[in-house]
Chains A and B, each alone.
Chain A
Amino acid sequence: MPENPTLRLAVDIGGTFTDTVLMEGDTVLATTKTPTTPHNPTLGALDGVTHVMADRDWADITGFVHGTTLATNALIERRGARVSTITNDGFRDILEIAYERRYSQYDINLQKPDLIVPRDRAFTIAGRMDVSGSEITPLDESAIPTLATALRDAGTEAIAICLLHAYANPAHEIRMRSLLQAELPGLSISLSHELSPEAREFDRLCTTIANAYIQPLMSDYLSDFAAQFADLGITCPILMMTAGGGMTTLKTAAALPIRLVESGPAGGAILAARVAEEAGETDVLSFDMGGTTAKLCLIDNYRPQTARRFEIARAERFIKGSGMPVRIPVLEMIEIGAGGGSIASADRLGRIQVGPQSAGSEPGPAAFNKGGTHPTVTDADILEGLIEPASFAEGHLQIDIAQSETAMVTHLGNPLDLTARDAAAGISEIVDENMAGAGRMHAVESGKDLSTRTMIAFGGNGPLHATRVARRAGVRRILIPHDPGVGSAVGFLYAPVSFEIVRSRYARLDALDIPGLNAFFTEMKNEAETVVRAGASGPLDRTRSAFMRYHGQGHEIEIPLPDRDLTPDDIETLRAAFEQEYKSQFARAVPGMTIEILNWSIRVASCTENRRDVSRKGAASSPKPARYTTILCDVANAQRNAAIHERKTLKPGAQIPGPALIIEPQTTTYVGADFACEVAPNGTLILTAQEASK
């Protein structure tokens, strides 16, 4: 261990609050929540850091990780630059034509998402590469001056260039940049092959546009942020949290700001992966339920599942396909409109619907008595006795049960002929079923099974709904980490410095050009290592993959490759690995079918050490409850007595049978009647389903 203090700082700027965490080694020294300052987010961050640092020396800070919703918000609130696009002649409408599809089958009146660039700012230029990267038609350089004038006349602030097959040969894109920079100095230019060197022109164009849209804003913000902290004595480099769950340098972040979107939720998944590793849980479902949404992520062998595509700016927030696709490395999460503030209503078939509309924190659930009149998930939990009014939000918020009851009776009880209690139970059942269903669907889409997994629950409402969702998903074991209410910022400090590149290069497995492929990988490796080296000096981990499928199929499976040059002997190994993985996802392999590979990836990351918690188990004990309360038991569907425990008083080894409530400042863990809780040596609550305890 080093002698000097090695302080590490994480700042997570969210929409409402900025979370700051200070750690030394593995110990959290201080945390704080300060209001986000939207006009100049750096101010809120400075407040937070000043607070956690107290009178410590800022020069002792050896690590600084920052994540922000600024990029995401700029896209949602449409506060980005005026972008123009340049595509090949004959392909002006890649954006408008898209995939030619409606995202909702029965909706005659659906509207497509706004894809940022209208047709009158979509420009084209002659020149064409073919699929192998050979030039068919040279770039029409003589058209550049006219094009530059047109771009200027259109009021262009940023340019997105996306040429066909640029992933195979980017020469035209690169040449265009230098010619246009000469004509239009200072203009931000994003090139498709640098953002997402993958085939499928619509997705690549969208990714390029989204990056161009936020690039000027983010680049200004990041340089200002760094300058302000440098003035106050921070000497270590500031690293940015990315959507892929790794960190990157300010320079890369300023050039590729699209990789910064959705980094907050990624922090939560990183935390869950860390908790999983400490507990030795290899098959995990993380369950992060807040006030508006719930997010679920599959975590295998301590690595959150990754994806290469997600959607921004959806026309219908929770409908897949209604948004703008962005191809960057992301932690794969499903987000559904189910949170404490989700509003319940009766539809015309007499069914209870919950969400996706949310009362948020303003006006909030009816019980907050701040003007909300609709019944919410939190109101249901209150009426079921699962939230103790006096201890909610550390007593900062007055809970008015009568308001919950009135809302429940007015909007559900009367129209559906239910008592307030039955309506409350109905809301819980529906919302828990929705979350469990979304989780099962998400697992199926990845060829996985939920029921063998351990759930790691956090967020303000995760621990409260965990046993109820788990039962419906067939999950039998749940972990609740300490301080489950503030996960993301802590998660930042467990992230490696990393960079991932996914690049298209079509090949058939039985006709692999091995030398060509090795040269291709070496180039990708050098590119990724250069980026990572800028932020990490220690040893590096490299992960290589091939995205393979049977010829004719639309779905690719990621198969790990050895971290070295490939040899002809590897072809059979790859075939076997693919067939085995295929079998595990689809029950049977298809011998004799041609296997093809579309994309190849490399991820370079700084090494992280093994974090397995090996401390000894505490002696079994049965703590005395602080008090008892009456709850509506979801297993017996009847009133039952439940013990209340204060989490801070529980010792490792403590065993608590359900039903019970374990209360802490930001949330309550509800141990259902069919679960029992044990406190792990590191303070994690372990909830296990009990056999036939009904």
Chain B
Amino acid sequence: MIPKTRLQVMWNRLLAVVEEQGQALIRAAFSPIVRESGDISAGIFDVHGRMLAQAVTGTPGHINTMAEAVKNLMAVFPTDAMNPGDIYMTNDPWLASGHLNDFLLLQPAFHKGRVVGFTSCTSHLADLGGKGMGPEGSDVFDEGLLIPPCKLVAEGELNALLMTIVAANSREPVANEGDIYALIACCETGVARLTGMMEEFSLDTLEALSDYIIDTSRQGTIDAIAEIPKGTYHHKLMVDGYDTPITLQAALTIAEDHILLDFTGTSGCSDKGINVPLNYATAYSVFALRCIIGSDIPNNAGSLEPFIVTGPPGCILNAQAPSPVAMRHSIGQMTPDLVYGCLSQALPDKVPAEGASCLYDVPLRHTPEAARDGGQTFALELVYNGGTGARPTLDGLSATAFPSGVWGSQVEPTEATAPIRITRRELRPDSGGAGQFRGGLGQHIEMVSSSGEDYLVFLSVERIRFPAAGRHGGQPAAKGRIRIGNDGPDLPSKGEFRVPGDTPLILETPGGGGFGDPTTRDASAVQEDVETGLVSPETAEKTYGWEKP
């Protein structure tokens, strides 16, 4: 029998290996969203396809999508037909990670002539043709190239035709090729490290280690669930949608040894590419739950098993093929607020208020005629965030990503790479929801064309119609607001717009909701908010009962 501390050392080793794989993949990636948000994943699996370790990367969107994807691929390719050096691949949104840009690779690890486990990794590729990254596709076929499960590498030999097809169907062929090579290298590193560890610790199989990791993690998670009051908690959340509002609805059942989340009651799919496959809705929902329930336990088959997520097929959180899904993150990122609406009824002292949640990811591009007439062409993807919801004992964070883990764009590098000048980027006073603990503030951003040419902006954001709500007496935050020119009309949250070369584009990101009754806020905290200008004297007087000293 292997001593427990030895098993723990090996567990630590696997966790270190997936982090190494993740870092290597981010460093080699070409897609800006990978660079800014670490939109990748890497994991190690046992011979049964049970996930043993997964890298903690920038976005929660891969959390259990990867665990499920590996099972999907194993169902297509029987293990006993695999050879050393084989690598499998797919970007099917319903098998991999929710939209075509995410490519998943899987490689069996051979040790002493037998398959002992697998490594897998996912990365966001820059462009797959079709209508590109935007909500305008009317089905998944509009959105670009779909590669069904296939063998990318056979016994070390790359399928050149497949690579040619991926390149031929992309506006960024060189970058795509580079990203696929990076994924291959990532898989190979994982396999080498896994078998190297088995060599070092004289293991023939991973069975004992895998049972230890999964049993320990499952039990730890069940113990954490046991501390939550049992029952079924319901919540409904309205979100902007494309042109008509959408209802997200959930019932969260806390049982003895598991948690069941059911999306029944949620609106049907949209005609536009904002629909969410269930694997992706599950990833964000379970992420939100795990932030509060057993957050110290690493992601693996054991810690994820007690979380069960269902939804009626065809609702917008369980979109079926061939629904368009390119921008599934806009609604997907709202699911934590939906889930927290349920969970806060069970754990009122643990769950934060609603936040801006959906990131303000703003792709800018040259106009079609600029490309045609030899003007300056460019493509820029700016990333901004609003405020997070106030926490039960702390204010929310201003201009900070949650649930995603993206990095915001800095002004100087932005201006170096595209004909855009940022003329203002400051916090929005009074945008945080009032409360005993105040919600985080959104930001006010203005930009102009530095060449004087018009350009296009592609919006797929949220909280333009519906603000982040407060909790337990906390007030709602300011909504987001987007317009072209100071006096221009407010734009909707989604769509494609043309910005004249002489007019500023103004983005105001939403704030986070407040927590608790604002009149109970500590007087010195209100005073500080006024002195630092985060809250105006008028609001302080009206909402917090502040008096000018």
Q: Does B154 contact A (CB under 8 A)?
A: no
* A105 and B405 in contact, given A100-B385, A444-B24 (Cβ under 8 angstroms): yes
Q: Does B169 contact A (CB under 8 A)?
A: no
* A430 and B30 in contact, given A97-B399, A119-B533 (Cβ under 8 angstroms): no
Q: Which residues of A contact B424 (CB under 8 A)?
A: 90-91
**How far apart are the CA atoms of A177 and B453 in the complex, in Å?**
36
Q: Does A381 contact B (CB under 8 A)?
A: no
Q: Which residues of A contact B19 (CB under 8 A)?
A: 441
Chain A residue with minimal CB distance to B126?
A552
Min CB gap A353→B, angstroms: 10
Q: Which residues of B contact A164 (CB under 8 A)?
A: 411-412
Min CB gap A116→B, angstroms: 14
Q: Which residues of B contact A440 (CB under 8 A)?
A: 16, 20
Q: Which of B7-15, B95-103, B465-473, B479-487 contacts A (4 or more CB under 8 A)?
A: B7-15
Q: Which residues of B contact A106 (CB under 8 A)?
A: 56, 290-291, 295
Contact A429 B5, beta carbon cutoff 8 Å: yes
Most buried by B among A111, A136, A444: A444
Contact A444 B36, beta carbon cutoff 8 Å: no
Contact A553 B401, beta carbon cutoff 8 Å: no
Q: Which residues of A contact B181 (CB under 8 A)?
A: 586-588, 590
Chain B residue with minimal CB distance to A100?
B408
Q: Does B155 contact A (CB under 8 A)?
A: no
Contact A93 B185, beta carbon cutoff 8 Å: no
- Provide the A90-125 mask, 1 if CB < 8 A to any CB of B, else 0: 111110111111100111110110000011100000
Q: Which residues of B contact A74 (CB under 8 A)?
A: none
Q: Does A298 contact B (CB under 8 A)?
A: no
**How far apart are the CA atoms of A506 and B418 in the complex, in Å?**
12
Min CB gap B353→A, angstroms: 11
Which B residues between 353 and 406 are near A, CB-CB below 8 angstroms? 383-385, 391, 393-394, 397-402, 405-406
**How far apart are the CA atoms of A136 and B305 in the complex, in Å?**
58
Contact B401 A101, beta carbon cutoff 8 Å: yes
Which A residues between 593 and 649 are near B, CB-CB below 8 angstroms? 593, 598
Which B residues between 210 and 262 are near A, CB-CB below 8 angstroms? 216-217, 219-220, 223
Contact B427 A590, beta carbon cutoff 8 Å: no
**How far apart are the CA atoms of A131 and B446 in the complex, in Å?**
17
Q: Which residues of B contact A98 (CB under 8 A)?
A: 408
Q: Which residues of B contact A91 (CB under 8 A)?
A: 411, 424-426
**How far apart are the CA atoms of A444 and B20 in the complex, in Å?**
6
Q: Does A200 contact B (CB under 8 A)?
A: yes
Interface size class of A (residues with CB under 8 A): 35 or more
- Provide the B25-68 mask, 1 if CB < 8 A to any CB of A, else 0: 01111111001100000000000000000001010100000000
Which B residues between 176 and 197 are near A, CB-CB below 8 angstroms? 177-178, 181-182, 185, 196
Name A102's contact: one of B6, B292, B402, B421 (CB within 8 Å): B402
Q: Which residues of B contact A425 (CB under 8 A)?
A: 5
Q: Which of A228-236, A342-350, A369-377 contacts B (4 or more CB under 8 A)?
A: A342-350
Contact B408 A131, beta carbon cutoff 8 Å: no
Q: Which residues of A contact B502 (CB under 8 A)?
A: none
Min CB gap B486→A, angstroms: 14
Min CB gap B284→A, angstroms: 13
Q: Does A165 contact B (CB under 8 A)?
A: yes
Q: Which residues of A contact B398 (CB under 8 A)?
A: 96-97
Contact B27 A445, beta carbon cutoff 8 Å: yes
Which A residues between 401 and 446 are near B, CB-CB below 8 angstroms? 416, 418, 422, 425-426, 429-430, 433-434, 437, 440-441, 444-445
Min CB gap B90→A, angstroms: 22
Q: Which residues of A contact B391 (CB under 8 A)?
A: 108-109
* A437 and B352 in contact, given A96-B399, A97-B398 (Cβ under 8 angstroms): no
Contact A100 B16, beta carbon cutoff 8 Å: no
Q: Does B174 contact A (CB under 8 A)?
A: yes
Q: Which residues of B contact A119 (CB under 8 A)?
A: 532-534
Contact A349 B16, beta carbon cutoff 8 Å: no
Chain A residue with minimal CB distance to B189?
A444
Most buried by B among A200, A447, A588, A598: A588
Q: Which residues of B contact A506 (CB under 8 A)?
A: 416-417
Q: Which residues of B contact A429 (CB under 8 A)?
A: 5-6, 9
Contact B399 A105, beta carbon cutoff 8 Å: no
Q: Does B83 contact A (CB under 8 A)?
A: no
Q: Does A138 contact B (CB under 8 A)?
A: no
Which A residues between 433 and 489 are near B, CB-CB below 8 angstroms? 433-434, 437, 440-441, 444-445, 447, 474
Contact B9 A430, beta carbon cutoff 8 Å: yes
**How far apart are the CA atoms of A550 and B35 in the complex, in Å?**
13
Q: Does B413 contact A (CB under 8 A)?
A: yes
Name A433's contact: one of B13, B413, B416, B427 (CB within 8 Å): B13
**How far apart are the CA atoms of A131 and B450 in the complex, in Å?**
10
Contact B402 A96, beta carbon cutoff 8 Å: no
**How far apart are the CA atoms of A200 and B16 in the complex, in Å?**
30
Q: Does B443 contact A (CB under 8 A)?
A: yes
- Provide the A206-249 mask, 1 if CB < 8 A to any CB of B, else 0: 00000000000000000000000000000000000000000000
**How far apart are the CA atoms of A133 and B20 in the complex, in Å?**
40
* A347 and B296 in contact, given A101-B401, A102-B402, A586-B27 (Cβ under 8 angstroms): yes
**How far apart are the CA atoms of A350 and B383 in the complex, in Å?**
41
Min CB gap B288→A, angstroms: 9
**How far apart are the CA atoms of A295 and B329 in the complex, in Å?**
40
Contact A93 B427, beta carbon cutoff 8 Å: yes
Q: Does B23 contact A (CB under 8 A)?
A: yes
Q: Does B423 contact A (CB under 8 A)?
A: yes
Most buried by A among B20, B26, B398, B426: B426
Most buried by B among A96, A100, A433, A591: A100
**How far apart are the CA atoms of A201 and B425 in the complex, in Å?**
12
Q: Which residues of B contact A97 (CB under 8 A)?
A: 398-399, 408, 425, 427, 443
Contact A130 B4, beta carbon cutoff 8 Å: no
Q: Which residues of A contact B178 (CB under 8 A)?
A: 550, 588, 590, 593
Min CB gap B215→A, angstroms: 10
Q: Which residues of B contact A422 (CB under 8 A)?
A: 3, 5
Contact A202 B410, beta carbon cutoff 8 Å: yes
Interface residues of B, Cβ cutoff 8 Å to A: 3-6, 8-9, 11-13, 16, 19-20, 23-24, 26-32, 35-36, 56, 58, 60, 126, 174-175, 177-178, 181-182, 185, 196, 216-217, 219-220, 223, 290-292, 295-297, 352, 383-385, 391, 393-394, 397-402, 405-408, 410-413, 415-417, 421, 423-427, 443, 446, 450, 531-534
A98-B408, A433-B9, A433-B13 given. 10 additional CB < 8 A pairs? A93-B425, A94-B425, A107-B295, A109-B394, A130-B421, A200-B410, A351-B216, A352-B5, A586-B28, A588-B178
Q: Lowest 6 A-B CB distances belong to which pairs?
A: A100-B408, A554-B35, A426-B5, A90-B424, A437-B16, A119-B532
Interface residues of A, Cβ cutoff 8 Å to B: 90-94, 96-102, 105-109, 111-112, 118-120, 130-131, 136, 164-165, 199-202, 347-352, 416, 418, 422, 425-426, 429-430, 433-434, 437, 440-441, 444-445, 447, 474, 504, 506, 550, 552-555, 585-588, 590-593, 598
A-B contact pairs, 11 of them (CB 8 A): A90-B446, A91-B411, A91-B425, A96-B399, A108-B291, A131-B416, A200-B413, A416-B4, A555-B26, A586-B181, A586-B185
